[in-house]
Each structure stands twice: as structure tokens, then as C-alpha cells.
Chains A and B, each alone.
Chain A
Amino acid sequence: MIQNLSIAKDVVEELKEKFGDVIQSEGDVAVVNEDFIAKVCKYLKNEKGFDHLSNLSAVDLIKQNMMCVVYHLWSTEKKQLIILKAFLPRDPTDKHVCHEDDVCDGVQRLPSISKIYPAADWHEREAFDLFGIIFEGHPNMKRLLLKEDWIGHPLRKDDESGVPAYQIDWKLAMMRSNDKFVLNMGSINQKLEKMKEEKEDGK
């Protein structure tokens, strides 16, 4: 059977009544205005019993020029899930180095929920490291996975740090000549450069 995580739609309606304009609902998801996310989470934890933070992830929506942070909260008593989303404006020039105690001023900011859900501590640091979203009120907003003096935020869609996945030319890679198959033992860098040169010569 396909797993069915039941979503608490009645809680979304109650949130809309209590907080008013701050929350809109898109299907099952409650879209929260970015400044009020901490208050909504505190209400959900203390009064509605959503005690388990399941996931906190960031998504880069480059076509709509926005970034999005998605929260999945689970209630162990009622076995229900609630999904919150917060949209932020996107600034492509936000490149933080942030390895000393300097203040990062950027457009993509959100209040941190690490005092309400301590489990969100490392999730928020990872979102800062890979996307550049600053969480205000976090005790230790530093890079987590990459080395401390890395410049840039790799998981953004317009970041060019990695090697592009070009289509492999299988004929060239097999290098069949007189029905012999050449097996490359050793470093692949020299072979790749050689292949590129030969392709250019061939053209």
C-alpha cells in the first residue's frame, strides 16, 4: 500500500481564524507570512500538540524569483502532519563568507525556531550553508557541511561550482580500434583531457 500521512486540515482552518491575514492556504499547505513563522510554531507546539519537527527544507524557485522554506510538523498523539511554507524574496548577489563574527546583511531572512524546536538547530545551519538563508535568533549561524572559507551557496540553481554533467559520447569513450577495448587504469584526469584534445583535433 502507498503510505498515507493524514494532514490536519482542521488545524489549518483554526490557524486562519486565529491569525487572520497572515496565513493563506494552498490546498493542504498553510502559507505563512515570513515574519510570523515563530509565533505560529509556538502556538502549534504548546497548544495543538505538534511536538515533533519532522523536516525543515529549503527550495530555490528561480523562475518565480523566490526562495521557499518548508516545515513538516508531526503530532505523536493524533498522528497527523501539518505543512507550513514561507516564501522569501530572492537576491542573487547574496554571497556570504561569514567565517568570522561579521554581520551578514542580506534580503533572505527568517526568524529561527531553534528555541521552540531544538531539533531545528542543524537543519537551519544546513539551509544557511547551502542556500544562503539567514535565520535570525539562531545561536550559532555558521557553515556546517562545507569548509569555513567557502564562497557561495552551492545548492542554488545559478551556482556554477560543480562540473556540468555533459552527455557522454559513448563512441569516443569506448575508443574501439580494431575491436580492442582499452581499459583505463589510473588517473581519469589525464584521460579526460586527452579525449577533449582529440575531439577538438578531430573537428
Chain B
Amino acid sequence: MASEKIVELNMGPQHPSTHGVLRLMLKIKGDTIMDSTAHIGYLHRCIEKLHEKRHYMWCIPLTNRMDYVAALHSEHLFVQAVEKLMNIEPSERSQYVRVILLELQRIASHLVAIGSYGLDLGQMTTWFWCFKEREIILTLMEEVTGGRLFHNEVRLGGLKNDLPKGWTEKCLSMLTYLDKKWKDYGKFIENELFFKRTKGIGVVSKKDAMDWGMHGPSLRGSGWNLDVRRYAPYSVYDKLDFDVPVKDEGDSLARYRVRWEEVVQSIRIVRQAIKNLPQGPTEGLRSLYFTKPVTPGEVYVINEQAKGEAGVYLVSDGTSKPYRAKYKTPSFCNTALLPKIIVGHKIADIVAIIGSLDPVFGEVDR
């Protein structure tokens, strides 16, 4: 019979629904997937080798291009590592401003994730609405830093630009607008068809999620209450009050709902940070560390990025260029277990699973 033969199907690097350049070789029997392998590397841009050829300050624009949807997180990670090596504590106001900008980036990243997820499952309106809200956030970021996607803003010991006058009022009015709309969007997205396509699809049990090395909202959708801002706090996160959303089911619907609630919590954090914003200097030592040598040694720092736990292992040999910078990114770890999750599902479920894991291929391939 024709449906008992195993056919090899290629889901190539150019595809409208894989979130980037991912190649999956599937072995299917009828419509069910028996086995698959993932091939990556179509966006490998040699970022780690280029770090070794540039001074520390010139590496910051390179780190922006890794997670290109929320670029400030990677900058913050790299600069925190250098600050830990040289034992420099940034000023109080600059830490609060960094937290405000980071959480705005997290909202922007989740908007892209949820919008693209809706588009993949057939809800085009979701995509249009999410990108419309994202434009407001990008305009706010542009008023502070000068760039929509790539900012080059974080410096050793502070920031490049301070917040302009009147920015905090604009930000607060944007947040009240988004808060009202976000609950309506949630009810709009979750209709009967959405439930049929995501409930019970791509279930990852609690034990498997930790064994296989999942990170971020996907891990919290399987029952683990792990967030770097809680178990290894950095910057001013230990002074801010927020909840970490956790769901138990482990399917795609749970992962999507964790992301939806994280936007609500991020809005809460930004409001608190604006209320407690102290006066003071924000300028970093930008002129000093252009060619200044950094103390030799090695350091490991982790951050909670929009997609999960990211870490950088930085080795310095006492000159003004890094010796080795290794980035551990959450999308790399999440994409590695994609072939294990999709076994047994239908071909149409692959799109729902990839969207709920939310990989960004600048991070996977670096």
C-alpha cells in the first residue's frame, strides 16, 4: 500500500513558516512523522571569531545582530561580563534605565512571537495588530537611542544616552493603552480553532524538559518555576516586584500562554521602575575603554533574555581585545530538541510546534 512506504521530505531553508532558515529532513509514513533531523548553519556569520579581532567597544554592534528581535539583551549580557571582570558597578540610575529598556524589548520580542504564531495558524489579524503595537515601542526606543532595531546603547558602567525630557510620560500612556488592549487580544486569539491546533500538541513532560535542556518560556510551560531574575538576580531585579508565570501541561497552548502573561508582568515592572527612578549620572566610561586593556581572567554571566537563559563565557588575556567569547543562547538549545518533539505528530503540527518554541536564527547560528 502506498501509505506504508517511508518517504523522505525536505522542509527547506526557504519556507514561509519556519521562523528563519531551518532545514528539516522528515521521514513520513502517510501523514505521520517517523523520524527527522534538523540542519542548521545557514546563517553562521562567524560572530565569535570576529570578537577576537576587535576591541571591546567595537564588539557591541556585533552582539546586537545575534537576537535581532530584542537586541539590547545581548549587549547587556556582554557588557555585564566585562563589568564583572573589571569590578565596576554601574550607577543606580543607569541600572534602572537599563531595566526599563530591557523590559520594553521583551514586550516587543513577545509581540513578534505571538504575531507570527497567529499568522502561521491562519489568523492574519493577530499579526497586523501585534506589529502595529510594536511600532509604538520602536518609536519610543528610537527617541532614546536613535535606532529602531539596533541600539548600540549600553556602555561600560552606564549608558550612552540618558532618557529625554517627557519620555516617561509618553511611556506610561503607551503602557495604559497596551494594558487595556492586551486582554482583548488574548480573548480574540483563543478561539475554537486555535485550541484544536495547539491543545495537546507537542507535549514535553517535566522530566524531559530539564533533561533535554529546554530554556525560557518553553521550560516554564512544562512546570519548572525557573527564572534567572529570581534564582541569580542581576541589576536591580531583586528590588522589583513581579510574578513568574508557570503552567503545568507542557503543550503548545501552555507555552503560548506563558508568553502572553509575561507581557503583563513586564508592563508591571516598567511601571515600578519609572516610579522609583532615581536622579543621578548615567554616563558610562565610553571614552576610556576604547583601547584600554581589561584585567586578565575569565568570567561567566547569565541573563534572562526574551527567549530564555543566555550566558556568555568570556576569557581575557590582558589586552584590549577578547581572547574568547562563547555565547550560549536559548534558541540553540531549544532547536536541538525539535526533532525529538515532533515524532508521532502530523505534518501540519510542525508549524504549531516551531512557533511555540520561538527560535530566532541569528541566535542559533551566531
Contact = CB atoms under 8 A, between A and B. Distances in A.
**A–B touching in complex (CB under 8 Å):** yes
Contact of A55 (B48, B83, B313): B313
A185 interface: no
Centre residue among A83, A119, A121, A162 by max chain B CB count within 10 A:
A119
B56 to A, nearest CB: 14
A116 B323 CA distance: 30
B311 interface: yes
Contacts of B89: 1-2
A50 to B, nearest CB: 12
Interface stretch (A140-148, A170-178, A186-194): A140-148
Contacts of B136: none
B311 A55 contact: yes
B249 to A, nearest CB: 21
A121 B41 contact: no
Tell me whether chain B's interface is mostly helix, strand or loop, or mixed. Answer: mixed
Nearest to B88: A2
Contacts of A81: 300
A54 interface: yes
A39 to B, nearest CB: 19
B232 A59 contact: no
Interface string B226-264: 100001111110100000000000000000000000000
A144 B87 CA distance: 36
B40 interface: yes
A154 interface: yes
B4 interface: no
Instruction: Using C-beta atoms within 8 Å of the partner chain, give the interface range for chain B.
Output: 35 or more
Given A53-B213, A165-B54, A5 B226 contact: no
Contacts of A25: none
Contacts of A70: 313
Contact of A79 (B46, B48, B231, B300): B231
Interface residues of A, number: 36
Interface string B204-239: 000000111100000000001010000111111010
A41 to B, nearest CB: 14
Contacts, number: 94
A118 interface: yes
A37 B115 CA distance: 44
A3 B80 contact: yes
B301 A3 contact: yes
A121 B335 CA distance: 12
A54 B302 contact: yes
A122 interface: yes
Contacts of A145: 40-41, 44, 365
B49 interface: yes
A27 to B, nearest CB: 10
A72 B300 contact: yes
A46 to B, nearest CB: 13
Interface of A: 1-5, 51-55, 57-60, 70, 72, 76, 79, 81, 83, 117-122, 130, 143-147, 154-155, 162, 165
Given A3-B234, A117-B213, 8 more contacts: A2-B80, A2-B83, A3-B84, A60-B324, A79-B231, A155-B48, A162-B46, A165-B54
Interface of B: 40-41, 44, 46, 48-49, 53-54, 80, 83-84, 87, 89, 210-213, 224, 226, 231-236, 238, 300-302, 309, 311, 313, 315, 323-324, 326, 328, 332-333, 336, 365
24 contacts: A1-B234, A1-B236, A2-B84, A2-B87, A4-B232, A5-B232, A51-B210, A52-B213, A53-B213, A54-B300, A54-B311, A55-B313, A55-B328, A57-B324, A72-B313, A79-B231, A121-B336, A122-B333, A122-B336, A145-B40, A146-B41, A162-B49, A162-B53, A165-B53
